[in-house]
Amino acid sequence: MASTAESSAPTLVVGIDFGTTYSGVAWSSSARKNKPKPVTNWKTLKNFNSDKEKVPSAIHYDENSEEGPAWGYAVPLDENVLRWFKLLIIDEKDLPSKIRGSPQINTARARLLQLNKTPTEAIGDYLRAVWKHSRESIVRSVGQRMFKISRLHIIVTLPAIWPLYARIRMEEAMEVAGFCVPRPAGETTIDYISEPEAAALACLHETSEGAELKACLTLLLRVLISQLTSLRLAIISSSVTPVDIITYTVLKTHPLTVRESVKGDGDLCGAMFLDESFRVILKKLIPKDILEKMEHNDINKIMNDEWEHGIKPSVSKDSKPWDIPLPFAGTTNGRFHPAKISIKASVIRDMVYSPQVAKIKVLVAEQIRQFVILVGGFGRSTYLHECLEANLGGKIDILQDEGSGPWTAVVRGAVLHGQMRRGMSDSVAIAVESRICRYSYGTLVDIIPFEDELHAPQDRHFCPVNNVFLAANQTRWFVHVGEAVSTYKPISYQFWQDLSSPDDDIFVDIVISAAATPPMRKDKTVKPLHTIRISRIPNWDKLPSWTNKKGEEFRRVDYELRMISDGPTLEFSVRHNNRRLGAQNVSFETIDSSETQGSSALAPKSRTKQMSSRPDPDYVEGSDSDEEDDLFVE
């Protein structure tokens, strides 16, 4: 939550939803306590403005242009436009084979090589342009003076199944885009939230349908008052890729309080794959002699005009065949072919939609619930709703908003999350009481003394300071994978480190594991996450001292390592005598066991001490290493 001083200053909360094919920005002002307002009026190719709530995630670099890259609706319809570059933030080896080998990804990767740019740089360039337009839009609404004196609190949405290194690269892209430029009003804060959780906030609190849902939940709770834990609601964020699903148990309705009841899931499916499948079918249906005459721009124009803004949003079980105009007439088998083709609705349903709908059905079936809410671009699909209704409708209510509601749910939810974090809105009354951990979170310790029956032989290390053997690099887990972590309820362990000089630093390693049962010692499943570094030790002269058998004097710092959840993040803090010495925030949803592959981070090595029983001073080991991790927080 914001401090009192920060809360008194005007604040602008800005939500950023950077998508694979479309991106959105929404904002809210603490001075007005207004609902999230989407940014629109995007500049287009012909200098008109598009009043849509989202803008294409596309950028075009032209070395002859003095105005910088074209982006969004203003990009030309040619092969040099960079699209789908969001997915390039994921290492190629971590992409599913279907995406890794897709023509769009290969084209985007080749284009970046031509430009000599990294995915992070391209994303930064695109977001810089989006942010410039968004700033101008916000200034028009609140005025230049109010914008200058307002603190900025930015919430960025991320797919729930993204690895940690992708989030780190997104943070770098945000810096490239200029979000972190110093402002007179104070430091700009940037937080992250998973897309399905942001969508949940929007669905329950922004739209009139959300109010109806809460009323429905209230009615059901009266009937199921003795079995509250059986009431489930799922949010499916199905925009482009990936599709995320998250399930909540409703605990009470005044205020609406939920807990995550099943570990979130996801799959790589969605509107992106619809586009790719339709493009393949389109090229097969166009007669060969006509296709050979067509340029790349002609296919892109059909994809934009006929598919994106015509066929795709209208597919349903009752759809009729669609006629698609072609730029040329031609011949097929010696016969004249008019300048159009016809595509049956059954072909679109069976060959384009059905494979993606089937994946979503599996995701839904794996989590038990009473309500399913569809959001995202694909979440607007009538056909997706019809298929889920046919498959699950007898037992589950499939809810789908109309208009732009599903399309903008994620970015609006991001703003709502920011409002709650800043204490800006009394109308936002949803509380996520607990979340399910996707990974185990813990720290590394050296255990004194080493015990043959408890510790692995390879962990037996001799400590010359104490002339004793210890068990090095043992783990202490604060929470295990699959466990619920309650919001604002801390979990803590007591540790110590011995220092020989006030100039010595304290290092505390935070680690994770994706193993179903996390190990009691550091093995290959234990990955480094962060290192908290404490450089200034308070009241050095008052710390208890002891002298080892060599006559060397040490000061012992006893401290508490505390983990607490404030919602979508976990905070690890080091506390000494009820004073916080240092802290590090990590994300619930964006950590993956492969996050250190290819990283420059050093393998974690414990400096923290813990004991199986409290020894006398001569039984305490001093600092066993002068090495310093690449990752540290001061």
* pLDDT on residue 362: 67
Residue 580 included in any domain: yes
Instruction: Give yes or no: residues 243 and 324 share one domain.
Output: no
Instruction: Give yes or no: residues 412 and 314 share one domain.
Output: no
Altogether, the residues listed in the chain come to a count of 634
Instruction: Give yes or no: residues 139 and 225 share one domain.
Output: no
* pLDDT on residue 229: 32
Instruction: Give yes or no: residues 115 and 166 share one domain.
Output: yes
Instruction: Give yes or no: residues 453 and 593 share one domain.
Output: yes
What is the rounded CA–CA span in Å between residue 513 and residue 498?
Answer: 28
* pLDDT on residue 133: 96
Residue 634 included in any domain: no
Instruction: Give yes or no: residues 219 and 106 share one domain.
Output: no
Among residues 193, 222, 245, the one where a domain terminates is 193
Among residues 302, 322, 352, the one where a domain terminates is 352
Instruction: Give yes or no: residues 380 and 519 share one domain.
Output: no
* Amino acid at position 49, single letter: N
Q: How many CB atoms lie within 10 A of CB 543?
A: 17
Instruction: Give yes or no: residues 165 and 282 share one domain.
Output: no
* pLDDT on residue 217: 41
Q: What is the pLDDT of residues 133-149, one digit of tens each?
A: 999 999 999 999 999 99
Residue-number span of the structural domain to which 119 is assigned: 4-193
Instruction: Give yes or no: residues 372 and 290 share one domain.
Output: no
Under-70 pLDDT residues of the chain: 1-8, 46-49, 98, 160-161, 164, 204-272, 330-337, 360-373, 375-380, 392-406, 424-433, 488, 566-568, 585-634
Instruction: Give yes or no: residues 76 and 209 share one domain.
Output: no
When divided into structural domains, the chain yields a total of 4
Residue 630 included in any domain: no
Residue 136 included in any domain: yes
Ranges of beta strands (E only) in 500-593 are 506-513, 526-534, 545-547, 553-565, 569-576, 579-587
Which CATH number fits the domain that encloses residue 422? Answer: 3.30.420.40
Among residues 141, 170, 193, the one where a domain terminates is 193
- 255 preceded by a cis bond (ω within 30 of 0): yes
Residue 632 included in any domain: no
Instruction: Give yes or no: residues 230 and 263 share one domain.
Output: yes
Instruction: Give yes or no: residues 78 and 165 share one domain.
Output: yes
Burial class for 222, CB neighbours closer than 10 Å (0-12, 13-18, 19+)? exposed
DSSP helix/strand/coil, 241: coil
Residue 624 included in any domain: no
Residue 115 included in any domain: yes
Residue 625 included in any domain: no
